[in-house]
């Protein structure tokens, strides 16, 4: 039976470990040390490394891990990542024989130009594109791509588990409440998240259904979100992309 476990790393990152009590695959290892501690403490053998994009807090541990384990390291084919020898992208498939694990890849650019996500076990590992109640900043991508990628993730089955890579949910909810103060689903999520963080537990994974109900960046078509963003910018917005772009800029300075 496969399990997914969060390995806390750096300031607020999670390195996700998929394991079967014998072998493991890790996603976005920004630091090798906590991964090695996790593997050694559970006597697990690393079988593969998956990376969603090129930022160092997602890639910084790859080379060090490959000094210990001779395994394939997969990453986005449109980005340059040290020690990544297996570039993948849209519609590619990965098979990890030691775990009988099948993984598919979709392109979700916007946060970065070549950002990808991994789909497996009814879950999506989406790096910094979709966060709990938020989304990533735009670096070398653009707003149109990021909006399209979020809509694409929103079209996954609602029960899909969302494994992003930062513990940002509580802060994101505070911003979302400014956008939709009357959203009862968001209010309920805030209480749940506060309790989890008070107990020092992760707020992740989320689900696509929960994000669609509470995440303003997936709700740029909703009248209350449109109205709040228009009030903030001081003029009418004609398209969902305009709403999304203004909302992302608002969050940048919030």
Catalytic residue of the set 28, 31, 57, 107: 57
Catalytic residue of the set 28, 31, 128, 145: 128
Cα 19 to Cα 6: distance, rounded to the nearest angstrom: 11
Judge contact between 23 and 44, C-beta under 8 A: yes
Cα 239 to Cα 73: distance, rounded to the nearest angstrom: 40
Judge contact between 179 and 229, C-beta under 8 A: yes
Cα 119 to Cα 94: distance, rounded to the nearest angstrom: 10
Which of 1, 77, 71 is closest to 29 using CA atoms?
71
Catalytic residue of the set 23, 28, 31, 53: 53
Catalytic residue of the set 58, 107, 115, 145: 58
Catalytic residue of the set 23, 111, 115, 145: 111
Catalytic residue of the set 55, 107, 115, 145: 55
Residue 82: active-site member: no
Residue 58: active-site member: yes
Catalytic residue of the set 19, 23, 115, 166: 166
Which of 154, 145, 125 is closest to 53 using CA atoms?
125
Rounded to 10°, the helix 223-233/169-179 angle is 80
Residue 55: active-site member: yes
Residue 148: active-site member: no
Could you list the active site residues?
53, 55, 57-58, 111, 128, 166
């Amino acid at each position: 039976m496969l399990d997914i476990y969060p390995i806390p790393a750096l300031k607020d990152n999670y390195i996700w470990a998929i394991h079967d009590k014998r072998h493991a695959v890790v996603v976005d290892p920004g630091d090798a040390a906590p991964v090695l501690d996790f593997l050694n403490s559970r006597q697990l053998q690393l079988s593969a490394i998956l990376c969603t994009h090129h930022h160092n807090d997602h890639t910084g541990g790859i080379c060090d891990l490959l000094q210990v384990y001779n395994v394939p390291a997969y990453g986005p084919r449109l980005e340059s990542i040290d020690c990544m020898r297996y570039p993948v992208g849209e519609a590619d498939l990965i098979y990890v024989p030691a775990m009988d694990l099948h993984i598919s890849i979709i392109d979700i650019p916007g946060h970065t130009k070549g950002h990808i996500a991994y789909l497996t076990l009814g879950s999506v590992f989406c790096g910094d594109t979709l966060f709990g109640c938020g989304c990533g900043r735009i670096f070398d991508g653009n707003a149109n791509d990021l909006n399209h990628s979020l809509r694409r993730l929103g079209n996954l089955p609602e029960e899909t588990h969302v494994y992003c890579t930062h513990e940002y949910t509580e802060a994101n909810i505070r911003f979302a409440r400014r956008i939709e103060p009357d959203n009862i689903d968001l209010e309920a999520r805030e209480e749940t998240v506060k309790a989890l963080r008070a107990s020092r537990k992760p707020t992740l994974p989320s689900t696509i259904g929960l994000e669609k109900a509470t995440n303003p960046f997936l709700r740029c078509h909703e009248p209350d979100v449109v109205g709040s963003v228009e009030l903030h910018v001081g003029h009418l917005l004609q398209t969902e992309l305009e709403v999304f772009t203004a909302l992302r800029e608002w969050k940048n300075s919030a």
